[in-house]
């Protein structure tokens, strides 16, 4: 974003002329870009506790908590996973004023993939440019294995299956990302782990990696993920059907108990080839306590 803004402001020159965004550099081109290396960035180190599953000189595997953004945005500049990682990776060099770190010596977290703010679970982050390049290529080639645990509404009859529905973006309608005929191909595989009273515990495998894919696909087949605020219209329809014949003074309490919960989606397994030696390494993370408590409540209704 910083470099893009500099290009837009005319601070980038190609062969002595102001460069434009999207220009394909040719052999022999001279590119000049001037900027202040000492200027603060949005990825300031912050001493935020992290659950580290594995770490070596090339990468770190962490469990992102629900409610935390992966990286800063235009409106949120702190409290993100990137802020926490910037501190974690440079802790030995940080003093009382972390923003005066020499930009040349800072180890920047290489964000290889993303999780929704509301989703918890495993993420791998590169610590070197080489590791970032290799892991990013592996993600593009679908050489990474990912599994999620999700609690969805109602009973899923099939023990296993695949959801194949194109996902696209409509800027004029909410939610913007949804199933669309002219969207990009998207596939999610699922296996039933446990059937509960009016809910099903699933293991989900995203074959593709579209925005909000798991949430969209589950809602698309009529089984939205419990606690999903973005696609809660599906949940509200289900709740309205359930509450036929229920006294009006009880309906509000039922709705509050149903919707005042977190998104029950957790990235539970992550496996990939280590960028340094190619070894296949695998990590797992059980659903956090807030999800297990919700699951226990559904079990109690059986």
Sequence ranges of the domains in the chain: 2-33, 42-141, 144-302
pLDDT averaged over every residue in the chain = 86
pLDDT of residue 183: 94
Average pLDDT over residues 183-212: 95
CA separation for the pair 14, 204 (Å, rounded): 47
Nearest CA-CA partner of 213 in 176, 245, 177? 177
Q: Are 128 and 274 in contact (CB under 8 A)?
A: no
Interatomic CA distance for residues 206 and 203, integer angstroms: 10
CA triple 25-29-31, angle to 5 deg: 85
Residue 154's pLDDT band, with cuts at 50, 70 and 90, is very high
Q: How far is CA 276 from CA 84, 128, 132, in A?
A: 24, 11, 11
Closest CA to 165 of 209, 129, 216, 118: 216
Top mean-pLDDT range of 19-23, 25-29, 100-104:
25-29
Percent of the chain with pLDDT over 70: 83
Class of 144-302 in CATH: alpha beta
Question: What pLDDT does residue 105 have?
Answer: 60
Looking at the DSSP bridge assignments, the partners of residue 125 are 60, 111
At 237 the pLDDT is: 46
Residue 224 has pLDDT above 90, yes or no: yes
- Mean pLDDT, rounded, for 100-123: 82
Question: What is the reported pLDDT for 264?
Answer: 96
Distance, in Å, from the CA atom of 85 to the CA atom of 71, rounded to the nearest integer, reads: 10
pLDDT at 249 over 70: no
If you average pLDDT over residues 214-231, what whole number do you get?
A: 90
Residue 302: what pLDDT? Answer: 67
pLDDT value at position 135? Answer: 97
For the segment 83-89, the average pLDDT, to the nearest whole number, is 93
Which residues are known catalytic residues?
A: 116
For the segment(s) 42-141, the CATH number from 3.40.50.300, 2.40.50.100, 3.30.2350.10, 3.40.50.720 is 3.30.2350.10
């Amino acid at each position: 974003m910083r470099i893009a803004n500099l290009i837009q402001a005319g601070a980038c020159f190609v062969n002595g002329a102001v460069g434009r965004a999207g220009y394909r550099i040719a052999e022999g081109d001279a590119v000049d870009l001037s900027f202040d290396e000492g200027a603060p960035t949005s990825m300031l180190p912050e001493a935020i506790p992290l659950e580290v599953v594995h770490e070596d000189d090339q990468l770190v595997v962490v469990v992102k908590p629900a409610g935390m953004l992966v990286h800063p945005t235009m409106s949120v500049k702190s409290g993100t996973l990137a802020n926490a990682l910037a501190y974690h990776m440079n802790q030995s060099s940080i003093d009382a004023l972390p923003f005066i770190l020499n930009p040349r010596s800072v180890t920047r977290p290489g964000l290889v993939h993303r999780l929704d703010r509301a989703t918890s679970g495993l993420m791998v982050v590169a610590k070197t440019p080489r590791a970032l390049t290799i892991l990013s290529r592996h993600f593009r080639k679908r050489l990474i294995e990912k599994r999620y645990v999700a609690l969805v509404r109602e009973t899923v009859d099939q023990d296993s299956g695949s959801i194949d529905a194109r996902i696209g973006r409509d800027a004029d309608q909410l939610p913007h990302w949804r199933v669309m005929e002219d969207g990009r191909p998207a596939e999610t595989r699922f296996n039933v782990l446990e059937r509960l009273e009016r809910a099903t515990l699933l293991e989900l495998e995203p074959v593709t990696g579209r925005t909000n894919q798991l949430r969209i696909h589950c809602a698309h087949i009529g089984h939205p993920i419990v606690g999903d605020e973005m696609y809660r219209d599906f949940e509200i329809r289900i709740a309205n059907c359930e509450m036929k014949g229920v006294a009006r003074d009880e309906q509000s309490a039922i709705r509050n108990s149903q919707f005042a919960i977190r998104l029950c989606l957790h990235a539970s397994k992550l496996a990939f080839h280590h960028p340094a030696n190619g070894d296949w390494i695998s990590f797992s993370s059980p659903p956090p306590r807030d999800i297990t408590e919700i699951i226990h409540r559904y079990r109690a209704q059986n």
